[in-house]
């Protein structure tokens, strides 16, 4: 059996880890994941999804605040694994640690590299309007997501996909592709392909300032941003001067408007259509005013949104 150290943190990594544990070909010696973090208004410490699974599976858990130079890093080196496998771990690995893998240090990355190196590849693929995304299995090097590609497979981004649904699909694809690739690394039949540096696109973690919707963009891109930021951190706008999270929208493909972005195109008891860039129109389906629970547009229009009028400028920058 090949000995493995697995490094990952979010739900995306869990199916990959599960399938390695179930396989008869691999022995997961330990799991490395981010430390428990404060969560919610009460700031209660919350374990990562990978830690929760590792506890169920009785796998040794390491949680260094910083892996470089830590006692946990030395423990990994002492375990002398055949593979170090990462999937959305969330920290850079020093060269000394990468070299501790007797066969290879391998990363399961949620994009079609070299496009979308960085911490938010799935979000950017949706937000930028891409038709497809995918999984890249790659050798790990110290430079972020820059190692040679060992295997790659794409998957379509469907009309209603958001980051949550794409993570679910990509984790399943990533597990399949990893299990197909590891034996090829062992027997030497894998053919690494260097990334084309001229085609690199970065996808840094989403900043708070980037969570606001821009209705000057087309309805297609507004809808894509809503889905890219769902379920976390969620997109927002200022609706009637109040900060409001927008959870679900729909592009109105058969309608155009001369109204300015942010103005009300149509209001009925059950729908609210807003003008976007290039004369496009978007329908708001579900929202959440600050301090309120999520609600469908019907409930909103029967409550706080009763005063909204057609042609009114209801979306503002603040």
**Preceding amide of 231 cis, omega within 30:** yes
Structure tokens that stand for 74 in this block: 């030395």
**pLDDT computed for residue 84 by the predictor:** 98
User: For 133-169, how does the pLDDT look when each residue is reduced to its tens digit (9 = 90+)?
Assistant: 999 999 999 899 999 999 999 999 999 999 999 999 9
In this predicted structure, the answer to whether residue 263 has a pLDDT above a threshold of 80 is yes
Q: Fill in the DSSP letter of residue 34.
A: P
Residue 200: the pLDDT is 98
Cis previous bond, 211, omega within 30: no
Mean pLDDT of 26-30: 98
The predicted structure's pLDDT at residue 315: 97
Per-residue DSSP letters for 255-288? Answer: ----SPTTBEEEE-SS-EEEE-GGG-EEEEEEEE
| Residue 70 in this model has a pLDDT that exceeds 90 | yes
What is the pLDDT averaged over residues 217-233? 97
The pLDDT, as a whole number, for residue 42 is 77
Reply yes or no on whether the pLDDT at 41 is more than 80.
Answer: no
pLDDT, position 25? 96
Give the pLDDT confidence score for residue 286 in this predicted structure.
98
Cα separations (Å) of 125 from 221, 252, 274, 284? Answer: 12, 22, 24, 22
């Amino acid at each position: 059996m090949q000995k493995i150290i697995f490094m990952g943190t979010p739900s995306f990594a869990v199916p990959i880890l599960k399938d390695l544990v179930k396989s008869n070909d691999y022995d997961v010696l330990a799991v490395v994941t981010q430390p428990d973090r404060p969560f919610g208004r009460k700031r209660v410490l919350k374990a990562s999804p990978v830690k929760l699974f590792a506890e169920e599976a009785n796998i040794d858990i390491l949680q260094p605040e910083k892996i470089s130079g830590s006692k946990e890093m030395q423990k990994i080196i002492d375990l002398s694994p055949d593979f170090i496998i990462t999937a959305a771990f969330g920290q850079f690995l020093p060269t000394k640690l990468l070299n501790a893998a007797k066969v290879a240090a391998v990363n399961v990355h949620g994009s079609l590299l070299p496009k979308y190196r960085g911490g938010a590849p799935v979000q950017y693929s949706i937000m930028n309007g891409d038709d497809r995304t995918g999984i890249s299995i790659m050798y790990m090097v110290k430079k972020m997501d820059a190692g040679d590609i060992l295997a790659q497979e794409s998957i379509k981004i469907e009309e209603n996909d958001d980051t949550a649904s794409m993570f679910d699909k990509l984790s399943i694809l990533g597990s399949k592709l990893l299990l197909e690739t590891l034996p090829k690394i062992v027997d030497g039949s894998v053919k690494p392909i260097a990334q084309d540096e001229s085609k690199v696109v970065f996808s840094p973690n989403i900043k708070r300032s980037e969570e606001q919707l821009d209705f000057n963009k087309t309805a297609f891109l507004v809808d894509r941003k809503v889905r890219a930021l769902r379920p976390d951190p969620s997109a927002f706008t200022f609706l009637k001067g109040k900060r409001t999270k927008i959870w679900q929208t729909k592009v109105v493909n058969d309608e155009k408007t001369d109204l300015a972005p942010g103005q009300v195109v149509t209001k009925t008891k059950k729908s609210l259509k807003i003008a976007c860039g290039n004369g496009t129109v978007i329908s708001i389906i579900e929202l959440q005013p600050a301090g309120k629970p999520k609600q469908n547009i019907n409930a909103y229009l029967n409550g706080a949104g009763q005063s909204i009028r057609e042609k009114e400028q209801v979306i503002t920058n603040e």
